[in-house]
Amino acid sequence: MVEILIWMLVSYGMTNILVYGSIFSELREKIKLWGENKSVRFSGFGQFLSGILSCVMCCSTWVGFFLGIMIYSPSHEFLETTRFVSWFFDGIFASGSVWAINAIVEWFEVNRPKSE
């Protein structure tokens, strides 16, 4: 159970850094410009990447795929699915858990007491 909570927090942290982190802001801007420039090669792929890096749910799905393949697969361990199927479920699980954590964080940001 602790492994799942750690995996969820790692998914949230990685997604948060990729979507909102200032360390990747220049890279996100370059990818966005690449996607908007129709005269360069693979601009459609740049548009796809730009969309992923601007959406918490989209990015967390791919983070879940990555973590499931490279680090640890909770679906494989707890549901005993095959490796290929578990990677798909890892993406779904990461997307849902990151969305839930992000919704809670945003709720607290909107409803925090105002200092006067």
Q: From first to last of its 116 residues, what are the pLDDT tens digits of the chain?
A: 899 999 999 999 999 999 999 999 999 999 999 989 888 888 889 999 999 999 999 999 999 999 999 999 999 888 888 888 999 999 999 999 999 999 999 999 888 887 76
- Give the count of domains, the chain: 1
Q: What is the pTM of this model?
A: 0.86
- Position 116 in a domain: no
Residue whose tokens read 């997307």:
95
Note down the domain range covering 84: 2-110
- Position 95 in a domain: yes
- Position 61 in a domain: yes
pLDDT (0 to 100) of residue 55: 93
- Position 115 in a domain: no
